Structure 1
Amino acid sequence: MEQTVQIIGSILVLIPFALAQWGRLNSRARSYLLLNLCGSAILATQAAFTAQWGFLLLEGVWAVVSLTGLITVLRGREPSAAH
């Protein structure tokens, strides 16, 4: 079961990433951010339960960044980009 949860979480992160790289999905789109948030939250939770601290740090930060971006988009503001 643990492996299944990890695979689902990974797919939720990897599919939007691949679509963005192929130019089929904007990385600032709600769907991209929501899928990343869900996938990384699943993986962060799994990492916490199995005491994988490095993986928890990676996925926890990924989830927070995705959530911040999603909130910004939902509020109607454009996330700032590096120049």
Structure 2
Amino acid sequence: MILPLPTEIANIIGFAGMACIVFAYAYITGRERPNPFVQHGVNLLGAALLTISLLVNMNAPSLVLEGFWAAIAIWGLVKAARNRGGDRRPN
């Protein structure tokens, strides 16, 4: 345990993170033109919440996965912010 949180609280936080990631995936699947700020923002929130949970209930491979998940979400947010200014070139 790296964070001094009760296991039950860590699990609730982890389930909230999981719900965020599932929501984001369903959102992009169900929408014809999903908002990238919603998609990547919710994914980033999910990765952050799951990371908190994993720092209590350590699972190294899952922690690394959440790091990549967060990095991809940040990349998506940066791309969306750049494209917001009217530049619609594919990246």
Code of the aligned partner of 1:75? R
Partner of 2:21: 13
Structure 2 gaps of 5+ residues are: 1-8
Pairing 1:50–2:57 present? yes
Q: Which runs of 4+ in 1 moved over 6 A?
A: none
Q: 1:25, 1:6 → 2: CA distance?
A: 28
Larger relative contact order (C-alpha < 8 A, sep ≥ 6)? 2
Q: Which runs of 5+ in 1 are unaligned?
A: none
TM-score of the pair, normalised by structure 2: 0.73
Alpha-carbon separation, structure 2, partners of 1:75 and 1:18: 25
Residue in 2 aligned with 1:41? 48
The structural deviation recorded for 1:75 is 2.1
Identical-pair percentage: 22
Q: State the SS of the aligned residue for 2:58.
A: coil
Cα RMSD after superposing both structures: 2.0
Number of aligned pairs?
79
Letter aligned with residue 38 of structure 1: L
1:3 and 1:65, CA in 2 relative to 1: closer, same or farther beyond 3 A?
Answer: same
